[in-house]
A = this chain, B = another copy of it.
Amino acid sequence: MDMDAVFRALADKSRRSLLDRLFGKNGQTLGELTEGLAMSRQAVSKHLAILEDANLVAAHRRGREKLHYLNPVPIAEIAVRWIGKYEHAQVEALLSLKDHLEKPE
């Protein structure tokens, strides 16, 4: 994973806001995502392209529309792989619980 692309994508408030909107309602079109923003459709399109490059958003066409979906995996990977460096002891303990929760044998 290209962590640098993810960090750079997350650096912009508008892009984080777009992720928030997709979190609220997944699978939105470009036009839908543009509504209510003080920004042109093209600006939003550029932001979405950056989010796609960072693999934070996945999209596919449906006819003339393009549907955008949130991909939270890179965020989770940063949490584990990078933040873990700084929260090492805590995260180690937390991950053992995570594993335990996911495989409750």
Contacts and interface: CB of A to CB of B under 8 A. Distances in A.
Interface of A: 4, 7-8, 10-11, 13, 16, 19-20, 23, 70, 72, 75-76, 78-79, 82-83, 85-87, 90, 93-94, 97-98, 101
Given A94-B94, A97-B93, A85 B20 contact: yes
20 contacts: A7-B11, A8-B11, A10-B10, A10-B11, A16-B82, A19-B86, A20-B85, A72-B86, A72-B87, A75-B87, A76-B83, A76-B86, A79-B87, A83-B83, A90-B98, A90-B101, A93-B98, A93-B101, A94-B94, A94-B98
A86 B97 contact: no
Contacts of A90: 98, 101
Stoichiometry, copies per complex: 2
Given A10-B7, A11-B7, A11-B8, A79 B85 contact: no
The 5 closest A-B CB pairs, nearest first, are A11-B11, A94-B94, A72-B86, A97-B97, A8-B11
